Amino acid sequence: MTMMTPPPLDQQEDEEMLVPHQEFTEGPQPMEVISAEPATAPENQQVEDPPTFKYRWTIENFSRMNIKKLYSDTFFVGGYKWRVLIFPKGNNVDHLSIYLDVADSTTLPYGWSRFAQFSLAVVNQIHGKYTIRKDTQHQFNGRESDWGFTSFMSLSELYDPSRGYLVNDTCVIEAEVSVRKVVDYWSYDSKKETGYVGLKNQGATCYMNSLLQTLYHIPYFRKAVYHMPTTENDMPSGSIPLALQSLFYKLQYSDNSVATKELTKSFGWDTYDSFMQHDVQELNRVLCEKLEDKMKGTVVEGTIQHLFEGHHMNYIECINVDYKSTRKESFYDLQLDVKGCRDVYASFDKYVEVERLEGDNKYQAENHGLQDAKKGVLFIDFPPVLQLQLKRFEYDFMRDTMVKINDRYEFPLQLDLDRDNGRYLSPDADRRVRNLYTLHSVLVHSGGVHGGHYYAFIRPTLSDQWFKFDDERVTKEDAKRALEEQYGGEEELPQTNPGFNNTPFKFTKYSNAYMLVYIRESDKEKIMCNVDEKDIAEHLRVRLKKEQEEKEHKKKEKAEAHLYTIIKVARNEDLAEQMGREIFFDLVDHDKVRSFRIQKQLPFNHFKEEVAKELGIPVQFQRFWLWAKRQNHTYRPNRPLLPQEEAQSVGQLREVSNKAHNAELKLFLEVELGPDLRPLPPPLKTKEDILLFFKLYDPEKEAMRFVGRLFVKALGKPTEILPKLIEMAEFPANEEIELYEEIKFEPNVMCEHIDKRISFKSSQLEDGDIICYQKALTSASRDQFRYPDVPSFLEYVRNRQVVHFRSLEKPKEDDFSLELSKLFSYDDVVERVACRLGLDDPTKIRLTSHNCYSQQPKPQPIKYRGVDHLSDMLVHYNQLSQTSDILYYEILDIPLPELQGLKTLKVAFHHATKEEVAIHSIRLPKNSTVADVINDLKNKVELSRPDAELRLLEVFYHKIYKIFPPGEKIENINDQYWTLRAEEIPEEEKNLGPHDRLIHVYHFTRDPNQNQMASIVCLTCPIFSFR
């Protein structure tokens, strides 16, 4: 068995244990070694994991020893040296002190560590059942080389011959030690160690992972999921059955932890949902309901009901007349009380407890009037798989908050629901069915009411071996860890100063079971059935095996990446295909060009042969250029490869050309074509030759495209190549054109006009530079176009932004989209939105930004002219690296500047004599008072009498927190999180005497759908006066 680093002390359980021995007397202590039974394991013996060894130490003349401490002989466990250390007269306490010690701790290398689970015992030589045995576990190291119990048992009990611990002045001590490997978290292999794999946590999905593992390890359920009809055209992210099939298949056959993103996407969750903890019971019910619905009309229809559905009978039986009312209800899980119950049986006792309906609470029986009656619940049948939800969380009305119940609550390995002659069963129950259950899984919550961690202990085959499924990690665990340590309750901290304070400190255990899954013994063979590949649809096997092969291929490529270089080759065809469609700046997107994976040791000339074979370009017609990143962050072809460079290996060439030392080599392939479009040998290039690239802009179509490249002479002038440029653009021969150099685009666009009369060298043009050109426009014709020249068009492209607008009333649905510029002012944006909506007055548009994390509108709208540009509206809380493309809009009834000078409050008016609540929006200037709100409200509501006076209250969760004084300003009143309640002031409260008090009174009802549970539903929270 392989263990991870041991748990913290708050998960360990014995009373006065878990302390390294500490001595308070100075100077050396006498030591005497009493002979012990010889160790049987040689030091270098190879033993299985976990190696366990039981050591027995017999100590004679025990009461006559006048020594402080005593060591046993050394014994070997797991190849390590151990010994037992005792303090016969106590380690400064009136108890026997006993520890397990690393015998060779002083000679071990620095940083040594080993982990052991062990028990220490003082044997009762008269009655073995009274042997005192205590067990613990510890990570032994240089600072804590011994560990055990300072107060193991009282000395008075030990030295009393009649008790049986000292017989003929001989004491017998036993130590049972299991050494476990301490495994590094990152190197731990769940599949290798346990045969199972875990599930990856998306952020806060551990609660879902524990539930999914539990369902997966119910083989009958897994088989039913596999048999749900899906098709090869389905996508897992859009189909819960297929996503669950895929997940279960990977859990069954994968060697590594499995992701759940496809499944959560099939739920309709976004990333934000995955970072929010949901209710496990609700998730279980929703998932089963959706699967149940998808199973209808298929071969597995009814599986969910068959596995999980039970029935109980709610009854009310009159005591004095012959009348009984019953109602049969189904359940998929049972909620059991934890508070006030010591175990599962006590919870079931409480569940079926009979309630007396008498006195003021008599039952209205049909045709019999009010009658004394008995009310309760009995079970008609239990399901084969019984899911018990333990009510660890409940609402505390005294504290007005949710709390977690960490009380100790026991649950048995076997649960007998036929106990006491079937006291839980109704008269209609089939008594031939034996309701004896065995525990399958324990789902645990560790933490408090506001958050924590979830994991599960599961017996996948119902054997004695338990496994802990904790997200990605699966470990073997013993039954004690899965059962007793998940009961909850209190635990004792170890004593840090033995001899000074012997009173142990108790603390609450916050890790405890919240859900139990039991399987009925009589259905065990059917439910724990065999599930293999024949149960999985062929298309699913093919799809998932292909995914696995692709994953393995990528893994292999990654492992061998250091042996290869990726060469990305851009050609004229790539530039022509991408320019004006996918990109506008620079020349090409290298991620979308042809790439070659070449071994580093191969000569570059071998690569050229590969290119000839793949692209059909003979080696003699190929010339490759290296790309270079310039200081202005542009990326351009820099120079052709030299013949001596082409003679090098691919790896050497990459290192020469790539300062970033990544695995890629980026090249531009120059191929000259003749009039017949056949390749020609590359022309001779001298220092006077400059390779330029040309783009053509059409202001009428607002389009730009790549038209070709040319070699020009450094001392030549643009006028010399104008005919060629006109020919490339297919313009008339006499067309006037204008030339611009595209210099850079980050952080701002720089595109400058080129003087055609001066040389290329004087214009500082060099290899790889880009010239954009267009038809020359007259002053009159320029006004016809939005972007008449290259610089204005590139500026537009650099800052354009498609924004998706949504109505604030429907924040999940895109309403329309507009292409805008990030440089647009506030007025520009609202004018275009108003135009799109057909609204004459843009000031009646109010916009709200988008929260990228919650995928919801931000709480506060954008103020009128509160931002300078559109880019400021789209940025996420000043995080320039994260922007959105969504804005929300509202159409106001008055202009926004006017509205911003007003305060709008939503007030709920409760009528004095009618059971109705009306919501009113009160809009007043911000400097108004509560009295102004009340006066405005009086004109809108119906009063019980003309002279009735109103008051305004602040309510949160049905509780009144404040009665507003009439003179309070409304500007700071918050109605976003608090409810504003208006009501008439009762006459009796207007003239309260000095001894009169106002108290809050809650109105509550018992939820009729929840048996024996005082579910308090706060309906209103009025104030009553008492005298």
Helix (H) or strand (E) holding 839: none
Whether residue 680 contacts residue 674, with contact meaning beta carbons closer than 8 Å, is answered with: yes
d(Cα 100, Cα 701) in Å, to the nearest integer?
A: 86
- CA dihedral over 965, 968, 970, 973, signed as positive or negative: negative
Amino acid at residue number 120:
L
Helix (H) or strand (E) holding 500: none
Amino acid at residue number 217:
H
CA 717, chain centre distance (Å) = 63
Please give the torsion angle defined by the CA atoms of residues 972, 976, 979 and 981, in that order, rounded to the nearest 10 degrees. 50
Whether residue 811 contacts residue 887, with contact meaning beta carbons closer than 8 Å, is answered with: no
d(Cα 430, Cα 522) in Å, to the nearest integer?
A: 14
Given 206, 318, 751, 772, the catalytic residue: 206
Sheet with 800-807, strands from edge to edge, namely 816-821, 800-807, 886-891, 845-851, 856-857
Sheet with 355-357, strands from edge to edge, namely 324-331, 310-318, 373-381, 355-357
Whether residue 391 contacts residue 337, with contact meaning beta carbons closer than 8 Å, is answered with: yes
Question: What backbone phi and psi angles, to 5 degrees, belong to 71?
Answer: -105, 145
Burial 579-615 (b: 16+ CB within 10 A, else e): bbeebbbbbbebeebeebebebebebeebbeebeeee
Q: Which two tokens stand for residue 458?
A: 């599961």
d(Cα 487, Cα 954) in Å, to the nearest integer?
A: 42
Task: Tell me whether strands 564-570 and 664-670 are parallel, antiparallel or unpaired.
Answer: parallel
Name which of 467, 389, 540, 449 is nearest 195 in CA terms. Answer: 467
Phi-psi map region of 878: left, alpha, beta (phi>0 left; psi -120 to 50 alpha): left
Whether residue 761 contacts residue 715, with contact meaning beta carbons closer than 8 Å, is answered with: yes
DSSP state of 660: T
Q: Is 453 an annotated catalytic residue?
A: yes
Q: Which two tokens stand for residue 58?
A: 């017999």
Is residue 622 classed as helix, strand or coil in its secondary structure?
Answer: coil
Q: Which two tokens stand for residue 551?
A: 């994953």
Given 306, 453, 910, 958, the catalytic residue: 453
H helix count then E strand count, the chain: 26, 54
Is residue 595 classed as helix, strand or coil in its secondary structure?
Answer: strand
Count Cβ atoms below 10 Å from residue 936 Cβ, excluding itself.
Answer: 16
Is residue 602 classed as helix, strand or coil in its secondary structure?
Answer: coil
What are the percentages of helix, strand and coil residues in the chain, rounded to 5?
25, 35, 40
Q: Is 920 an annotated catalytic residue?
A: no
Rg, Å, the chain Cα set: 40
Strands, DSSP E only, in 16-131? 52-59, 70-71, 75-77, 80-87, 95-102, 113-122
Annotate 331-385 with three-state secondary structure.
ECCEEEECCCCCEHHHHHHHHCCCEEECHHHCEEECCCEEECEEEEEEEEECCCE
Name which of 383, 349, 424, 385 is nearest 515 in CA terms. Answer: 385
DSSP string across 86-113: EETT-SSSSEEEEEEEETTGGGSPTT-E
Burial 301-314 (b: 16+ CB within 10 A, else e): eebbebbbbbbbbb
Kindly list the catalytic residues. 206, 453
